[in-house]
């Protein structure tokens, strides 16, 4: 394994996840041991102190009650019984000194520290209680005879500023050193087990998370090299699943774009090569054969002119489409009578009625105006009508309609009764050079450039008009767009919607 490979591994997400998990586990174990070693004795001492305070509060409550009478034998015996039970249950030595009663000392022992407690109890402690916080003194002391540490709590019960009793509580803090050593040893063993388990689990988790990302990275490398046919398997992690879904979608779109690019290049090459071939062939025929024959020469020259016009149209369409898609072609809006403009356009198609038995019929309501770029809207009309003629039905009829949908909106339609378009292919008809089918019935007309509908889409999109195509297979198609009637106060501006396609029950 090379040094570079090791460096790359240390930078990988798999190693980083593993290291983060191990460091977190190690930090957690270290923090637990730290608290155990340094805070357990302190916590134990505080717990014992609170235990003594609770016992002292209970004794104060008993002495401060209305039933307490230091001169009553029954009352004193009742207090003594309670103190004995309290001392036995908590392993304590308790002394209660009644200042108003001669030899008024109540004593209860369970811990065995009688002598030590007597030594510590003195007038100095009693006098210091008045100045102590909460009238309570807590002190630690060592019992050398028993080799143990003890805690003494001194306080008093008071009522109406009169001291009723002095309370002294003593108890040993049981040696916990041995217990701590055992606990520390067990904790060390458990910590090692936890760290080993953390390492194993972190390796599994890091691999589980990193493997999909590694596969995604490898597939992206394939994308870079031009292999767009990939399928990344989904995972249970939402973020990675979303990334996988987006990359799969991007791969599909790139694949479609690549296929479209190849198809575009093939079609453009064909459309350029065909007229150039024709121009060259007829130019050579004029040079070699028909140069001295005016009739043949005129016929051959006309072919050259037609093919040159076809080249000009193709180049013009490509340039216009590029400008529309890049947004550099300006839209110069102005209000004009669309009904009148449409009549002039359709009248120019009358030549087809005579030459090829085509009929372009206009059904337009008068007085419908639009605020748009007139030259570009005329191009839309030309492209839609020419497209309908290319795929015309046996009746040789193309119907152009313009009518009001409501008081503020108008609709333009170009309908043919041709073979129609399959529903699943409707969303793609606006793509440049898109071919519905390779069968003879669906071939694009040789006079078209294959860019007409793409240009229509670009112009209508830049105007913000609704547009689409409704088609039924075997019955025909209706291409349409909708717009606000210019000057109308009630029409709403339609939202832009590109390429809306739907099946309809009639044309």
Tens digit of each residue's pLDDT (9 = 90 or more) over 83-106:
888 888 888 888 888 887 765 777
CATH number of the domain that 320 lies in? Answer: 1.10.287.130
Question: Is 59 found in the same domain as 158?
Answer: yes
CA distances from 322 to 40, 329, 466 (A): 78, 9, 21
Query: Does 246 fall in a domain?
Result: yes
User: Average of pLDDT values for 444-466?
Assistant: 76
CATH number of the domain that 25 lies in? Answer: 3.30.450
Residue 174, phi-psi category: left (phi > 0), alpha (psi -120 to 50), beta (remainder)? beta
Question: Is 371 found in the same domain as 302?
Answer: no
Query: Does 507 fall in a domain?
Result: no
For the chain, what is the domain count? 3
CA distances from 362 to 316, 377, 402 (A): 28, 17, 8
Residues 6+ apart with CB under 8 A from 468: 479, 480, 481, 497, 499, 500, 501, 502
Question: Is 451 found in the same domain as 399?
Answer: yes
**Partner residues linked to 502 by β-bridges:** 470
Which range marks the domain in which residue 373 is found?
A: 334-502
Question: Is 344 found in the same domain as 278?
Answer: no
pLDDT at 150 over 50: yes
Query: Does 74 fall in a domain?
Result: yes
Q: What is the rounded CA–CA span in Å between residue 220 and residue 228?
A: 9
Question: Is 497 found in the same domain as 410?
Answer: yes
Is residue 96 within 8 Å of residue 79, measured between CB atoms? yes
Q: What is the rounded CA–CA span in Å between residue 377 and residue 342?
A: 10
Query: Does 29 fall in a domain?
Result: yes
Question: Is 156 found in the same domain as 17?
Answer: yes
Q: What is the rounded CA–CA span in Å between residue 28 and residue 201?
A: 16
Percent of the chain with pLDDT over 90: 13
Question: Is 313 found in the same domain as 462?
Answer: no
> How sure is the predictor about 384, in pLDDT bands with cuts at 50, 70 and 90?
very high
Looking at 51-60, 250-259, 365-374, which range is the least confident one?
Answer: 250-259
Question: Is 421 found in the same domain as 404?
Answer: yes
- The CB-side HSE value for 168 (13 A sphere, CA atoms) comes to 25
Query: Does 194 fall in a domain?
Result: no
Question: Is 322 found in the same domain as 338?
Answer: no
pLDDT digits (tens, 9 = 90+) for 494-506: 443 443 444 333 3
Domain final position from 300, 326, 352: 326
CA angle 284, 288, 290 (to 5 degrees): 95
Question: Is 487 found in the same domain as 338?
Answer: yes
Query: Does 65 fall in a domain?
Result: yes
Residues 6+ apart with CB under 8 A from 374: 334, 336, 341
Domain final position from 326, 342, 369: 326
User: Average of pLDDT values for 307-332?
Assistant: 75
Which residue did the predictor score with more confidence, 218 or 168? 168
Looking at 120-134, 299-313, 428-442, which range is the least confident one?
Answer: 428-442
Query: Does 481 fall in a domain?
Result: yes
pLDDT at 411 over 80: yes
CA distances from 312 to 19, 121, 305 (A): 66, 120, 10
Q: What is the pTM of this model?
A: 0.45
CATH number of the domain that 448 lies in? Answer: 3.30.565.10
Question: Is 440 found in the same domain as 359?
Answer: yes
Query: Does 233 fall in a domain?
Result: no
CA distances from 189 to 80, 177, 182, 184, 202 (A): 49, 18, 11, 9, 20
Domain final position from 306, 326, 346: 326
Question: Is 403 found in the same domain as 281?
Answer: no
């Amino acid at each position: 394994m090379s040094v570079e490979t090791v460096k790359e591994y240390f930078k990988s997400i798999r190693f980083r996840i593993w290291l983060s998990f191990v460091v977190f586990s190690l930090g957690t174990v270290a923090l637990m041991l730290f608290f155990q070693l340094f805070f357990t004795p302190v916590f134990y001492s505080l717990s014992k102190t609170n235990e003594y305070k609770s016992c002292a509060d209970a004794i104060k409550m008993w002495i401060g009650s209305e039933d307490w009478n230091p001169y009553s034998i029954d009352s004193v015996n009742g207090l003594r019984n309670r103190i004995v039970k309290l001392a036995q249950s908590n392993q304590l030595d308790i002394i209660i000194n009644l200042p108003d009663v001669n030899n008024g000392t109540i004593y209860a022992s369970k811990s065995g520290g009688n002598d030590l407690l007597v030594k510590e109890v003195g007038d100095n402690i009693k006098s210091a209680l008045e100045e102590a916080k909460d009238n309570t003194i807590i002190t630690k002391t060592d019992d050398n005879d028993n080799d143990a540490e003890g805690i003494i709590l001194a306080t008093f019960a008071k009522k109406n500023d009169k001291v009723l009793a002095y309370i002294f509580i003593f108890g040993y803090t049981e040696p916990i050193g041995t217990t701590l050593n055992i606990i520390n040893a067990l904790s060390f063993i458990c910590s090692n087990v936890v760290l080993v388990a953390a390492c194993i689990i972190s390796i599994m988790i890091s691999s589980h998370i990193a493997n999909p990302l590694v596969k995604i990275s490898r597939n992206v490398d394939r994308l870079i090299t031009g292999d767009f046919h990939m399928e990344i398997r989904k995972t249970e992690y939402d973020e990675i699943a979303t990334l996988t879904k987006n990359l799969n979608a991007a791969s599909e779109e790139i694949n479609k774009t690549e296929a479209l690019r190849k198809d575009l290049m093939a079609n453009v090459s064909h459309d350029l090569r065909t007229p150039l071939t024709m121009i060259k062939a007829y130019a050579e025929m004029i040079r070699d054969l028909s140069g001295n024959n005016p009739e043949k020469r005129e016929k051959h020259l006309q072919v050259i002119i037609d093919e040159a016009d076809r080249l000009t149209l193709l180049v013009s369409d490509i340039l216009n489409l590029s400008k529309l898609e890049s947004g550099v072609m300006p839209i110069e809006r102005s209000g004009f009578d669309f009904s009148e403009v449409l009549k002039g356009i359709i009248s120019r198609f009358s030549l087809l009625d005579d030459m090829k038995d085509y009929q372009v019929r206009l059904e337009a309501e008068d007085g419908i105006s639009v605020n748009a770029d007139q030259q570009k809207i005329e191009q839309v009309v030309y492209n839609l009508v020419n497209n309908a003629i290319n795929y015309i039905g046996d009746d040789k009829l193309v119907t152009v309609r313009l009518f009001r949908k409501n008081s503020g909106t108008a609709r333009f339609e170009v309908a043919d009764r041709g073979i129609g378009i399959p529903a699943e292919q409707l969303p793609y008809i606006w793509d440049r050079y898109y071919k519905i089918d390779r069968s003879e019935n669906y071939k694009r007309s040789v006079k078209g450039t294959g860019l007409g509908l793409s240009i229509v889409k670009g112009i209508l999109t830049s105007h913000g008009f609704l547009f689409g195509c409704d088609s039924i297979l075997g019955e025909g198609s209706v291409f349409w767009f909708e717009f606000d009637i210019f000057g109308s106060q009630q029409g709403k501006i339609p939202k832009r919607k590109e390429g809306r396609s739907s099946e309809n029950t009639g044309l």
